[in-house]
Amino acid sequence: MAYAAPITDIRFTLDDLGLLQRVAGLPGCEEISADLVDAILEEAGKLAGEVIAPLNLKGDVQGATFENGVVRTADGFADAYRAFTDGGWAGIPFDSDYGGQGLPWLVTVAAMEMFAAANIAWTLCPTLTIGAVELLAAHGSKEQKDTYLPKLVSGEWAGTMNLTESHAGSDLGALRSRAKPAGDHYLITGKKIFITYGDHDMTDNIVHMVLARTPDAPAGPKGISLFIVPKYLVNPDGSLGPQNDVRCLSLEHKLGIHASPTCVMAFGENDGAVGYLVGEENEGLHYMFTMMNNARMNIGISGLAVAERAYQQARIYARDREQFGPIIQHPDVRRMLMTMRAQIEAMRGFAYEAAAYLDIAKRHPDSDTREAAQTRVDLLIPVVKAWCSDCGVEVASLGIQIHGGMGYIEETGAAQHYRDARIAPIYEGTNGIQAIDLVARKVLRDGGAAATDYIDSLRSEIKSFEGTDVGDAAVLSSRLSAAVDALARATDWLVANGSANRASTLAGASPYLTLFGIVAGGAAMARAASGAAKGLKNGGDHSFYSAKLSTAAFYACHILPQADALATAITDGSEAVLAIDEDLL
């Protein structure tokens, strides 16, 4: 099924929700205009729809292959990657000193949404490289930046993240990979699993970011260091030298994203893989979180992207499929389509808002404003990652349901979206871990200050919407106000009980994250309703803006009411999670 980049919807999110206006005046963004962004979106949409999307089904069927120690991507993947790098897309958010275009993250996530919707298995490669650039730009030495960033920013080389080991899983403190000092470098030994694009044929070199322990490192997470381990060593003049002692042992056979090579990697089977320490010893986990947080944002965007792809296909099928007339006429099919549409628009508005805060945190001239924006980003990132990826799975599942029996067989392609979406709630720390991070580190650690500040900002925003003529979406303001109250009630309960009963508090972490996401999405829909009302008043496209108001009204009536039930589950239901002895489960 073809993919059409939703440029009009993306433009609405950027312009009518006021997000582009927030970042356009920041230092380095002075030349950002609606016309420039439109041109970028149009070109990204063409690349996504015409070059990358046609490879989605083909890649799923063919998959990545591993033979005689060589990993090959599906037919056409390498050519599409060259088109991507030739267009300069690999470096759009990065410093021009290293060949980047210096565009805002807000614009970057809009482009990445389109690429991910076109083909999530393909997009994982540039997504990880973007994270590696962020890591090195923040923590690498000048020599490391000069050696690796130009090639990574251009996309000539790819980056990877090497954390997980088979015995440890998410418990990174238990990792066993070793790093032995050897002059100006270290020799790395160990095995890593689940390494996305750990080896492939799309770039000349692959730069692995590897966590390992030095000989005298303390036990646990405080003894982890971070190393650059290139597949091919780099000569002083920047040319590629011999292959490093790094190799792929096998590829995982997965539920979805078949075309993305998920590798078991071996480091140092012979003399030891040459690695270069990033920053200081034992600070590796801290540094890696820069890459992980970038990846979490992008995984949230991938949830949105796969949802958009599934919705487009389900909508077309519902219009064409005859069952006592086109099935799009049936109320329950309409309900499912509206659920998909409303979730997508809420995700897009919320995730793009987080990206705008990221731009402010990086670029604003006032240090206090930067700090406040970074605090907001830290609060929102786990919600973007987990809520959007959960919604992506839900929307893809509804896509199968709309197809009926035809959705459960592979020939329609609806099942692929679900299979591809299902990894996102597991990636980069499972969504349960994201919920624990949200509650333990982002809410309890500061006594609820950041969460309360966010809640207060929503209440102020709701007041600003009062009196706006939004037609059927008028119910949104009162429903959003009630949902914000539910979030405040749950937040207060967590803060009051967090120190006394940690287990019960964390038992409510996942419902709290879902509640937070629903409310944040509702706020985005309120902004959309306000923007649509203004568009109608100014004589804009009546059908387009009226549909935005109807979608906002649907969100208010069908999704926001879940907030109160989730708050009750948190405040009254945590003990029930722990009531049964674990031996009886």
Question: What CATH number does the domain containing 24 carry?
Answer: 1.10.540.10
Give domain status of residue 98, yes or no: yes
When pLDDT is averaged across residues 118-133 and rounded to a whole number, the result is 97
- pLDDT category at 471 given cuts 50, 70, 90 is confident
Check whether residue 162 and residue 226 sit in a common domain. yes
- pLDDT category at 91 given cuts 50, 70, 90 is very high
| Listed range (123-132, 172-181, 214-223, 391-400) with the worst mean pLDDT | 172-181
pLDDT in tens, 474-493: 788 899 999 999 999 999 99
Cβ-based neighbour number of residue 138 at 10 Å: 13
Looking at residue 1, what is its pLDDT? 73
Looking at residue 479, what is its pLDDT? 94
Check whether residue 524 and residue 478 sit in a common domain. yes
Checking if the pLDDT of 472 tops 80, the result is: no
User: Residue 84 is which amino acid?
Assistant: F
3-class secondary structure for 514-528?
A: HHHHHHHHHHHHHHH
201 φ, ψ (degrees, to nearest 5): -115, 25
Q: DSSP string covering 170-187, please? A: T-GGG---EEEEETTEEE
- Mean pLDDT over each residue of the chain, to the nearest integer: 95
Residue that finishes a domain, picked among 120, 154, 188: 154
Give domain status of residue 526, yes or no: yes
pLDDT in tens, 231-272: 999 999 999 999 999 999 999 999 999 999 999 999 999 999
Check whether residue 434 and residue 529 sit in a common domain. yes
Checking if the pLDDT of 391 tops 90, the result is: yes
Checking if the pLDDT of 555 tops 90, the result is: yes
pLDDT in tens, 405-439: 999 999 999 999 999 999 999 998 999 999 999 99
Looking at residue 187, what is its pLDDT? 98
What positions carry a catalytic annotation? 428
SS3 assignment, position 194: strand
Give domain status of residue 37, yes or no: yes
When pLDDT is averaged across residues 146-162 and rounded to a whole number, the result is 97
When pLDDT is averaged across residues 182-193 and rounded to a whole number, the result is 97
Check whether residue 109 and residue 135 sit in a common domain. yes
Please, which residues have CB within 8 angstroms of residue 467's CB and are 6 or more apart in sequence?
Answer: none
When pLDDT is averaged across residues 28-52 and rounded to a whole number, the result is 96
Contacts from 569-573 at CB under 8 Å and sequence distance 24+?
Answer: 569/508, 569/511, 570/490, 570/493, 570/494, 570/508, 570/511, 570/512, 570/515, 571/489, 571/490, 571/493, 571/508, 573/508, 573/511
Burial profile 48-72: b = 16 or more Cβ within 10 angstroms, e = fewer: bbebbbbbbbebbebbbebeeeebb
Comparing 174 with 25, the larger pLDDT belongs to 25
* Residue 308 near residue 113, CB atoms below 8 Å: yes
| Listed range (320-324, 361-365, 390-394) with the worst mean pLDDT | 320-324
Q: Of 462, 479, 477, which Cα lies nearest the Cα of 561?
A: 479
* Residue 476 near residue 468, CB atoms below 8 Å: no
When pLDDT is averaged across residues 295-317 and rounded to a whole number, the result is 97
Looking at residue 170, what is its pLDDT? 73
> What is d(CA 481, CA 472) in angstroms, rounded to the nearest whole number?
17
Checking if the pLDDT of 171 tops 80, the result is: no
Q: Of 155, 171, 143, 53, which Cα lies nearest the Cα of 420?
A: 53
Checking if the pLDDT of 140 tops 90, the result is: yes
Check whether residue 551 and residue 445 sit in a common domain. yes
> What is d(CA 303, CA 423) in angstroms, rounded to the nearest whole number?
10
Question: What tokens were used for 436?
Answer: 């624990």
Residue that finishes a domain, picked among 281, 300, 323: 281
Check whether residue 96 and residue 196 sit in a common domain. no
CATH number for the domain including 171?
2.40.110.20
Give domain status of residue 483, yes or no: yes
Domain range spanning residue 176?
157-281
Check whether residue 210 and residue 136 sit in a common domain. no
Q: Give the C-alpha distances (Å, rounded to integers) separating 584 from 190, 578, 580, 581.
A: 38, 11, 7, 6
Domain count, the chain: 3
When pLDDT is averaged across residues 375-399 and rounded to a whole number, the result is 98
Give domain status of residue 462, yes or no: yes
Left (φ > 0), alpha (ψ -120 to 50) or beta: where does 212 sit? Answer: beta
When pLDDT is averaged across residues 379-383 and rounded to a whole number, the result is 98
User: Residue 510 is which amino acid?
Assistant: S
Looking at residue 95, what is its pLDDT? 86
Looking at residue 280, what is its pLDDT? 97
Partners of 211 in beta bridges:
226
Check whether residue 135 and residue 173 sit in a common domain. no
Check whether residue 161 and residue 115 sit in a common domain. no
Burial class of residue 160 (count of CB atoms within 10 Å of its CB; 0-12, 13-18, 19+): buried
Check whether residue 178 and residue 261 sit in a common domain. yes
Give domain status of residue 192, yes or no: yes
> What is d(CA 146, CA 140) in angstroms, rounded to the nearest whole number?
10
CATH number for the domain including 548?
1.20.120
Looking at residue 475, what is its pLDDT? 85
Give domain status of residue 328, yes or no: no
When pLDDT is averaged across residues 338-343 and rounded to a whole number, the result is 98
SS3 assignment, position 428: coil
Check whether residue 45 and residue 173 sit in a common domain. no
Checking if the pLDDT of 465 tops 90, the result is: no
User: Which helix (H) or strand (E) segment is 30 a member of?
Assistant: none
Check whether residue 37 and residue 165 sit in a common domain. no
What angle is formed at CA 287 by the lines to CA 281 and CA 290, rounded to 5 degrees?
A: 175
Q: Of 69, 22, 490, which Cα lies nearest the Cα of 243?
A: 69
User: Which helix (H) or strand (E) segment is 71 a member of?
Assistant: strand 70-72
Looking at residue 575, what is its pLDDT? 86
When pLDDT is averaged across residues 143-150 and rounded to a whole number, the result is 97
SS3 assignment, position 249: strand
Pairing outcome for strands 178-182 and 157-162: unpaired
Looking at residue 290, what is its pLDDT? 92
What angle is formed at CA 115 by the lines to CA 230 and CA 152, rounded to 5 degrees?
A: 25
* Residue 553 near residue 573, CB atoms below 8 Å: no
Residue that finishes a domain, picked among 232, 249, 281: 281
| pTM exceeds 0.75 for this model | yes
Looking at residue 54, what is its pLDDT? 97
Give domain status of residue 405, yes or no: no
- pLDDT category at 174 given cuts 50, 70, 90 is confident
Provide the terminal-to-terminal Cα distance of the chain, rounded to the nearest Å: 43
> What is d(CA 471, CA 549) in angstroms, rounded to the nearest whole number?
7
Q: For the chain, give the percent of residues with pLDDT over 90.
A: 91
